[in-house]
Amino acid sequence: MALLPTFSILGSGPTVLMLHDADGDYLTFAPQVEMLASAGYRAVAWNMPGYGHSAPIEPYTFKGLAQSCVALIEALQCGPVTLVGHGMGAMLALEVAVRRAEVVNRLVLCAGGPALDAQAVQDWLVPRERALDAAQQPGGSMQQLAQTLVPQCIGPGALPEGVRLAEHALAQVHPATYRRALQAMQGFDRWAQAWVNVHTPTLLVGGEADHCTPPAALEALAQLMPDARHLSLPHVGHWPQLENPEAFDAALLDFLATQRVLH
């Protein structure tokens, strides 16, 4: 049996499992782990295979990543969970919901998902691949990559501490894993047509200044999905949960509380 991914866990109550982007690790949800635990939830933030101390998988595909995620959910023995996915993690949340709908009772898609069509994904990937090539040259580093990419994707109102945490998390990613994650995104095939069949209550939240996942794209996706709503946070870019954690946390808690009442 494959090793389970590593994760941080805090609190007790309904389980909220957070799936980070390719640009980082579990640390990009560090503020939310503490917040959710204090609000009466069991907060879990994983390290995607190959990230942190999680063993890599082969082949490195969304199918394999989804299987790793489901294995973790089953090991936690917590029943259906709320999946909170950021960037690539939002794509993965969809993959899990499509493949194993019974293990997911709510979705929160942050700055990502099938709103990124194939061309948008290429536009997102190309500068990252170039930066990774440079990082792997003599004298280059993932820290330099992080300090180049993160400032290009934040909003004008980003919390400086959040930006530093985003840079730190991205700098920790192993170059080989980062390349595998970027390659996996190129093979993602769950675009909008899959979402019309996802009846899971869903919150789509993004930054008003996020040019990677524009608000209009998330709004259009929310209109397609059977049970979804969209929220755009002003002055925020691609890391809403770090750039404005107060606003992001408020939206997340409101969504969780509403769904708890309904169910």
Query: Looking at residue 239, what is its pLDDT?
Result: 97
235, 215 Cβ separation under 8 angstroms: no
What is the model's pTM?
A: 0.94
Q: Which two tokens stand for residue 162?
A: 């959040």
pLDDT at residue 102, as a whole number: 94
What is the C-alpha to C-alpha distance for residues 142 and 178, in angstroms, rounded to an integer? 10
Q: What is the mean pLDDT of the chain?
A: 91
User: Which among 67, 2, 76 is positioned nearest to 45, based on CA atoms?
Assistant: 76
Tell me the average confidence (pLDDT) per consecutive run of 10 residues in the chain, 263 residues long: 86 97 97 98 98 95 96 93 96 92 95 69 84 94 96 96 98 96 84 69 95 86 88 97 98 88 49
Give the pLDDT score at 167: 98
Question: What are 24's two structure tokens?
Answer: 């980082």
Q: Encode pLDDT of 1-56 as tens digits.
A: 468 999 999 999 999 999 999 999 999 999 999 999 999 999 999 999 999 999 99
pLDDT at 220: 84
| Coil, strand or helix at 260 | helix
Q: DSSP class of residue 223?
A: H
Amino acid 114: pLDDT: 60
Burial class (CB in 10 A: 0-12, 13-18, 19+), 95: buried
- How much is the pLDDT for 203? 96
Confidence (pLDDT) at 259: 62
- Are 203 and 108 in contact, with CB atoms under 8 Å apart? yes
Query: DSSP string covering 131-149, please?
Result: HHHHHTSTT--HHHHHHHH
9 token code pair: 């866990």
Would you state the pLDDT for residue 221? 83
167-170, long-range: CB within 8 Å, 24+ apart, which pairs? 167/143, 168/27, 169/20, 169/23, 169/24, 169/25, 169/27, 169/28, 170/23, 170/24, 170/142, 170/145, 170/146
| Confidence (pLDDT) at 1 | 47
Locate tokens 């640009």: which residue?
23
Q: Which helix (H) or strand (E) segment is 152 a member of?
A: helix 142-153
CB atoms within 10 A of CB 192: 15
